[in-house]
């Protein structure tokens, strides 16, 4: 089982609010792996919109992304690109 860990920075002015959270959940809905975000010692399932919103990650927050499963590399690349592109905002 492949496990990848990467640190990302929230670039959105409003942090991880509803629109980016929705984009993350949509991006992950067909992936076969487990994805979790860790922020301020709290780890959540990144496939849950409510969990992402509960992190209340503001702009410039550092989030640790863990991806584990068969399509881990592909999923990690998509997540990194999404954060980099500010989820299309």
pLDDT (tens, 9 = 90+) of the chain, 89 residues, equals 789 999 999 999 999 999 999 999 999 999 999 999 999 999 999 999 999 999 999 999 999 999 999 999 999 999 999 999 999 98
The residue range of the domain holding 75 is 3-88
Name residues whose C-beta falls within 8 Å of residue 87's C-beta, 6 or more positions apart in sequence.
12, 19, 20, 23, 24
CATH code (residue 68): 3.30.1340.10
CA dist 27 and 22 (Å) reads: 9
* Helix ranges (DSSP H) in the chain: 18-28, 49-55, 72-84
Is 17 one of the catalytic residues?
Answer: yes
pTM of the model: 0.94
Number of structural domains in the chain: 1
- State residue 1's pLDDT score: 75
Q: 17, 23, 33, 87: which one is catalytic? A: 17
């Amino acid at each position: 089982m492949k496990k990848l860990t990467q640190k990302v920075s929230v670039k959105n002015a409003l942090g991880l609010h509803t629109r980016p959270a929705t984009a993350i959940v949509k991006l992950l809905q067909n992936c076969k792996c487990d994805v979790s975000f860790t922020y301020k010692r709290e780890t959540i399932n990144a496939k849950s919109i409510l969990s992402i919103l509960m992190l209340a990650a503001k702009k410039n927050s550092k989030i640790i992304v863990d991806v584990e499963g068969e399509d881990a590399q592909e999923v990690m690349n998509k997540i990194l690109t999404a954060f980099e592109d500010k989820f299309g905002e």
